[in-house]
């Protein structure tokens, strides 16, 4: 009898210990999971509910409290030619028309004409990093077909287009002097190595064209003259022409799906010169 009692006591104690250990494990394990995934959504929904129910009485417009903080479109000038946000189109000549950037920087990027290319320092650094990343990812290369152009060189380029295609056709591809993004030192024409579809719409379908269209915003570049938006930009689809606006603006335009600077800043469409 005594042995049986001892066995029962020992067995009972073992059950209690097992139950305690199991309870301890059960109590600890779910906590690990909650902190990893469950708790943040639970706490956010808890904190969101009171503010939603309180906002209609606290503020006149409940929808305002649900809108994320707006992008500040006035951080940089769109008029100053030295601003990375400057909007240059057929209705917005550079002021002064012979503006020249003060921070041009050489880039270690190949060009179709064999000489050293230049852009303004922030654009040059971003383009260098972007083309290096492209090569690291794909084993392919990007080169420059046009970089910074001065007012004087834009005169030559534009006159060359007019001579070969006539003024109407020239105005769809090349800006008049004083109206060119290339004169800001923030715009660049890109092509693959070896060059294929240079300054041609078929560049959009090359590996480089496809990659740039999807990824350039991460380095602060936008495709400035998108397909189907000639009535807004005044220029035909130029899948090779990228404009540096900084990562913040390029990402905002990418995320909101707004394709042109004119539409983003609420500016008039600029299909032709005034
Ligand atoms: Zn261009």
Ligand 1 center to residue 187 CA distance, Å?
6
Q: What is the pLDDT of residues 200-257, one digit of tens each?
A: 999 999 999 999 999 999 999 999 999 999 999 999 999 999 999 999 999 999 999 9
In the chain, the domains with their CATH numbers are: 104-264 (3.30.1380.10)
Q: What is the predicted pLDDT for the residue at 70? A: 84
Q: How many CB atoms lie within 10 A of CB 96?
A: 10
Ligand 1 center to residue 67 CA distance, Å?
37
Q: Are 240 and 268 in contact (CB under 8 A)?
A: no
Buried/exposed code over 33-49 (b: 16+ C-beta within 10 A; e: otherwise): eeeeeeeeeeeeeeeee
What does the pLDDT average to over 55-68? Answer: 47
What does the pLDDT average to over 13-19? Answer: 47
pLDDT higher than threshold 70 for residue 67? no
Ligand 1 center to residue 64 CA distance, Å?
40
Ligand 1 center to residue 72 CA distance, Å?
28
Ligand 1 center to residue 237 CA distance, Å?
11
Q: Given the structure tokens 């060059």, which residue do they identify?
A: 195
CA gap 258, 255 in Å, rounded:
8
CA gap 66, 56 in Å, rounded:
11
Q: What is the pLDDT of residues 136-177, one digit of tens each?
A: 999 999 999 999 999 999 999 999 999 999 999 999 999 999
Q: Are 252 and 71 in contact (CB under 8 A)?
A: yes
Q: Are 92 and 195 in contact (CB under 8 A)?
A: no
Ligand 1 center to residue 92 CA distance, Å?
17
Ligand 1 center to residue 147 CA distance, Å?
8
Q: What is the pLDDT of residues 120-129, one digit of tens each?
A: 999 999 999 9
């Amino acid at each position: 009898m005594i042995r049986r009692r001892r066995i029962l006591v020992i067995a009972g104690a073992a059950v209690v210990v097992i139950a305690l250990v199991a309870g301890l494990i059960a109590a600890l394990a779910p906590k690990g999971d909650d902190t990893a995934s469950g708790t943040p959504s639970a706490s956010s929904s808890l904190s969101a509910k009171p503010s939603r129910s309180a906002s209609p009485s606290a503020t006149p417009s409940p929808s305002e409290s649900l809108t994320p903080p707006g992008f500040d479109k006035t951080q940089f000038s769109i008029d100053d030619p030295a601003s990375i946000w400057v909007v240059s189109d057929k209705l917005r000549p550079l002021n002064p028309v012979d503006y020249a950037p003060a921070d041009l920087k050489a880039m270690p990027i190949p060009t179709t004409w064999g000489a050293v290319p230049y852009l303004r320092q922030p654009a040059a650094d971003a383009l260098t990093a972007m083309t290096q990343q492209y090569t690291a990812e794909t084993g392919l290369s990007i080169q420059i077909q046009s970089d910074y152009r001065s007012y004087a060189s834009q005169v030559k380029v534009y006159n060359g287009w007019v001579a070969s295609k006539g003024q109407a056709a020239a105005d769809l591809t090349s800006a008049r002097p004083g109206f060119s993004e290339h004169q800001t030192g923030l715009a660049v024409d890109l092509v693959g190595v070896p060059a294929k579809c240079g300054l041609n719409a078929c560049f959009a379908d090359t590996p480089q064209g496809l990659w740039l269209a999807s990824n350039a915003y991460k380095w602060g570049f936008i495709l400035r003259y998108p397909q189907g938006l000639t009535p807004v930009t005044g220029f035909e689809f130029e899948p090779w022409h990228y404009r540096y606006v900084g990562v913040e603006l390029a990402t905002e335009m990418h995320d909101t799906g707004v394709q042109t600077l004119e539409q983003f800043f609420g500016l008039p469409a600029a299909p032709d010169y005034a």
